[in-house]
Amino acid sequence: MAQQTQTATVKPTLGLTGVTMNAMALIAPGAFLWITYQLQAAATAPDGSSVATDMWSGIAFALVLAFLTAFSYGQLARLYPEAGFGSAYYFAEKAFLDRENQAHHRWARLAKLVTGWAAHLFYWVYPGVMVAFMATLIGYIYQQFTGATLSTPTLIVIAVLFALLNGYIAVRGITGSTMTSIIINVVQLATLVGFSCLAIYYRWTNPQHASQWAFGSAWDVIRPHTFAGTMIQSTIAILILVGFESCTAFAAETINPRRDIPRAVILSLVVQGLFAYLFEYFAANYMVAETLVGTDANNAAVTGMAAAAASSAPIGDMAILVGNTLLGGVGFGLMITIAVTVALAILGTTLSCLNTAVRVSYAMAQDAEMPELLGAMHGRYATPHRAIWVLVGVSCLIAAIGVQSVVGLTGITLASNLGTFVLYALTCLWTIVAFAERHDRHVIKHYVVPVLGLLANVAMLISILYLYIIGNADSVHEAYICFAIAGGWAVMSTLYVLVRSRRTGRAILAAPRQVA
């Protein structure tokens, strides 16, 4: 198994704080409020009607799904603290190998291969999306200062430089990455929570008539308005919550993985999902009124939620409005400050996902399920450095597409989300399998929770596909991009496994030659 090689070179240095901060960095408590609010404000039902009013309830539903999945990850991490870099990939194999009935062992390799495919679709696409977001954000800040727009080639160069920076930090080891994550998390939490408090106070000090507000009351912000709207918003909201499981790939670098990793999985989601994002999105929605103005694609004046949907950075527009109204005209400075903290958060998110992605790849390469190139360990920093630089290259390609087309970037993001739901659903399933024959199994922990998590992830998977397929022309195009990426990766993975299996004589439906 993968940990037999890595324990010879990797030293455990992380405690509960370290693993929690690495998971929190991927979720980024606040950055996605800036990044995805426009997408959520612009979300529509298949008939073209807006579902922006279901933004908060969609996040709440996605958060329930995330907690169900996180609990399953925690149970598996506690059961298999020796997982090393493998995370869910390792869990999938061990869930079958530990069964008393050896007839089940033959499914071990297939289970880990399918899990590895989903993990790579999620983790290897996600950093490129973040790199594209960073280039777009820098372009927005530049435009605010100069009034000029950066060209697409310039944005691509910015994306490449940002990807290289992430690669450089990741190669130097997880300790430096952890310190970076701590600083970033503290700064963005303080900044975005502060903005949220100002947003709420803005409404309290501007008691306009109720018709001027996007939501009539606090309850109107949080209540579900339509089932379809909640599900549509959930397919977007999952992007702001994924990452809580990333710390399970750091078992080899954690001093007490059996104790700290399960805690970190839940703790990171509690801090960022339950407290940060629910509060921040409530505050942002609560302050949206006719005083938020902008222009749509046809240069027509729009206000309120329509203005948020039309803006490339609606949270930036809100910050300007709040700063000018409540803080004596410092709106522009407040907006720039928040934008800078978001840029730092994107750095932490990209770095965390890159660290998780290459560790799973390293584990698969050590099992000869991926090319040997990805299994090389840096002699000084004990990091899978070659895999890091390969992923940096992939991220540059994805970002080059993303900065040119919103439709293209959305389609790529959907492919990552597709991998997320498949990976999370499989992890819930492996939890059921792993505890099925154990004497310490618990009905609630090991059956009810993972079954609910499995059903929720499958429901989201169906929703994200169905809703985009029956949507407008752009949505259909985005769905095709998603299918092309997921299908292409599936074909490449299948061909590699078949060729490799033929050369080595390993059967797909068979237990591995070595059992850890």
Specify if 135 maps to a domain.
Answer: yes
Q: What are phi and psi of 51, to 5 degrees?
A: -120, 25
Specify if 458 maps to a domain.
Answer: yes
User: How far is Cα 78 from Cα 260, in angstroms, rounded to an integer?
Assistant: 9
Specify if 67 maps to a domain.
Answer: yes
Q: What percent of the chain has pLDDT over 90?
A: 33
Specify if 497 maps to a domain.
Answer: yes
Residues in the chain: 516
Q: What percent of the chain has pLDDT over 70?
A: 92
Specify if 514 maps to a domain.
Answer: no
Give the count of alpha carbons within 13 A of 363, CB side only. Answer: 31
Work out the burial of residue 37: count CB atoms within 10 Å of its CB; fewer than 13 is exposed, 13-18 middle, 19 or more buried: buried
Q: 45 and 227 in contact (C-beta within 8 Å)?
A: no
User: How far is Cα 213 from Cα 126, in angstroms, rounded to an integer?
Assistant: 35
Q: 74 and 249 in contact (C-beta within 8 Å)?
A: no
* pLDDT tens digits, one per residue of 140-169: 888 888 888 899 999 999 999 999 999 998
Q: What are phi and psi of 401, to 5 degrees?
A: -75, -45
* Average pLDDT over all residues of the chain: 85
Whole-number pLDDT of residue 478: 81
Specify if 365 maps to a domain.
Answer: yes
69-78, 196-205, 378-387 — which is least confidently predicted?
378-387
Q: 181 and 25 in contact (C-beta within 8 Å)?
A: yes
Q: 46 and 262 in contact (C-beta within 8 Å)?
A: no
User: How far is Cα 216 from Cα 346, in angstroms, rounded to an integer?
Assistant: 33
Task: Say how many domains are in the chain.
Answer: 1
At position 239, the amino acid (one-letter code) is L
Q: Strand locations in 221-367, DSSP E?
A: 293-295, 301-303
Q: How confident is the model at residue 4 (pLDDT cuts 50, 70, 90)?
A: very low
User: How far is Cα 432 from Cα 421, in angstroms, rounded to an integer?
Assistant: 17
Q: 35 and 41 in contact (C-beta within 8 Å)?
A: no
Whole-number pLDDT of residue 85: 76
Specify if 389 maps to a domain.
Answer: yes
Residues linked to residue 501 through DSSP beta bridges, in sequence order: none
Tell me how crowded residue 469 is: count the other CB atoms within 10 A of its CB: 15
User: How far is Cα 104 from Cα 97, in angstroms, rounded to an integer?
Assistant: 7
User: How far is Cα 233 from Cα 172, in angstroms, rounded to an integer?
Assistant: 38
Specify if 212 maps to a domain.
Answer: yes
- Three-state secondary structure call for residue 193: helix
- Which CATH number do you get for residue 370? 1.20.1740.10
Please tell me which of 70-74, 244-248, 373-377 the model is most confident about, judged by mean pLDDT: 70-74
* pLDDT tens digits, one per residue of 328-357: 889 999 999 888 888 888 887 888 788 888
Tell me how crowded residue 68 is: count the other CB atoms within 10 A of its CB: 21
User: How far is Cα 54 from Cα 396, in angstroms, rounded to an integer?
Assistant: 34
Query: What range defines the domain where residue 352 resides?
Result: 3-504
Tokens coding 337: 């400050």
Q: What angle do CA 356, 457, 364 make, to 5 degrees?
A: 30
DSSP string, 273-286: IIIIIHHHHHHHHH
